[in-house]
Amino acid sequence: MKRTSRLVAAVLCVGVWSSTASPAAAQSSDKDADAERLFREGQKLMEDRRYGEACPKLEAAYRKDQQLGTLLNLAYCHKEQGAVWQAWVEFKEAEVKATELKRADRRDFARQRMAELEKSLARVVVEPQQKVELTEVLVEERHVPEAEKGVTFASEIGQRKFTFRAKGKKQVVQLVTVVKGDRPQRIVVPAMEEEDNVPVAVETPAPRIVEEPKRAPSTPAGEVRDGSGQRTVALVLLGVGVVGAGIGTATGLMTLSNECTKSAKRENPAGCPSSPAGQDKTRAGETTGLIADISFGVSGAALVTALVLYLTAPSAPTSATVGAAKGARSGIHVMPEIGSGWAGLRGVF
């Protein structure tokens, strides 16, 4: 029982050290948690048909997680709210993202919704009148995916503000009266001026400062260290790392097999029942996922620390070394040296 308690204490100590050394991971976890909360709140409001409140929640969630599932829900929310063109642009963005991710089902879903929305919108295609490489087309300050490539896109009818951007050119803003017809309306890009030549400041690299290695204090004459204690600590940490990896693997597999986790519900919303049992599975998935994250973090920290301690442990002394150390400070000394970003051994002969 005492051995188990000591092992748990060692795991907790290394886990605290690992968490304090990874603030970026903690911030990322908080960001994901906020996105998940906003997504759930938005979905609940959509179920109640409160689209005016649901859409801002989903939009905030998408800004945080940039997930395809969140974007599709946002586009659907705007569609139900009546923001037809905004929904079309978001479905278009989802189509592009799904194509990049090789998600044919999501791509086809977005295309079907776009086709439905286009019935009440005009079709437009942008055509440069000079050989310029368009990089972006904005309509009413909203980026339209792939419009710069000459791909036909949808637009609301009436006077609209178009912004054209091209490589090496000044951007051009033009008011266009968009009309609906049997064929796409051609929008000719006005002549674009060259960008002003702005002097480029050449950065001079800062002088490289080489830090002097921090030297470990010399071993007093008559005292010889064989490094056995340091190697023992390294082996203990190795065991901690292996145990942590095992726990992380087990809980990670449990999380992946749970159909009610955040990622599983986004991929297959119908897979998790909306019942108390489903809620229990969701909580269980969050718990096992958290345990897996902590366990892998503890395991990684322990294994790295064990490796450093083992490699920097002094070698066992020979009888000649012991005699020389007892006689005087001169002789053979092997000691670890650790500097900024490196570790090694130094010998004096």
Mean pLDDT by runs of 10 across the 349 residues of the chain is 37 38 60 89 93 95 93 96 95 96 95 95 89 90 92 95 93 94 92 72 50 48 58 82 84 79 70 72 80 84 81 62 42 47 46
Picking from 90, 95, 120, 92, the residue whose alpha carbon sits closest to that of residue 106 is: 95
Question: 116 is written with which tokens?
Answer: 């439905």
| Burial of residue 308 (number of CB atoms within 10 Å: 0-12, 13-18, 19+) | middle
Picking from 166, 175, 128, the residue whose alpha carbon sits closest to that of residue 150 is: 128
Place of tokens 């970003």: 341
C-alpha 91/C-alpha 80 separation (Å) is 13
- Crossing angle of helices 104-117/84-100, nearest 10°? 160
Q: Are 112 and 94 in contact (CB under 8 A)?
A: no
39 secondary structure, DSSP code? H
Decide if 174 is inside a domain. Answer: yes
pLDDT of the residue at 304: 84
**pLDDT tens digits for range 198-253:** 444 445 455 455 454 554 444 444 444 566 788 788 788 788 888 878 887 888 78
pLDDT of the residue at 11: 33
Residue 60: its H or E element: helix 51-65
Range of the domain at 143: 121-193
pLDDT of the residue at 26: 56
Decide if 342 is inside a domain. Answer: no
* Residues contacting residue 285 through CB under 8 Å, at least 6 positions apart: 255, 258, 260, 261, 262, 264
pLDDT of the residue at 317: 52
Decide if 3 is inside a domain. Answer: no
pLDDT of the residue at 228: 75
Within this chain, do residues 87 and 32 fall inside the same structural domain, yes or no? yes
Decide if 341 is inside a domain. Answer: no
How far, rounded to the nearest angstrom, does the alpha carbon of residue 53 sit from its chain's CA centroid?
28
Q: How far is CA 240 from CA 96, 116, 235, 310, in A?
A: 45, 58, 9, 15
Within this chain, do residues 161 and 100 fall inside the same structural domain, yes or no? no
Decide if 214 is inside a domain. Answer: no
| Burial of residue 41 (number of CB atoms within 10 Å: 0-12, 13-18, 19+) | middle
The CATH code of the domain that includes 89 is 1.25.40.10
Within this chain, do residues 115 and 172 fall inside the same structural domain, yes or no? no
The CATH code of the domain that includes 164 is 2.60.40.1120
Whether the predicted model's global pTM rises above the 0.75 cut: no
What is the number of domains present in the chain? 3
329 three-state secondary structure: coil
pLDDT of the residue at 157: 95
- Crossing angle of helices 104-117/68-81, nearest 10°? 20
| Burial of residue 144 (number of CB atoms within 10 Å: 0-12, 13-18, 19+) | buried
pLDDT of the residue at 105: 96
Q: Are 312 and 345 in contact (CB under 8 A)?
A: yes
Task: Provide the terminal-to-terminal Cα distance of the chain, rounded to the nearest Å.
Answer: 48
Q: Are 345 and 337 in contact (CB under 8 A)?
A: yes
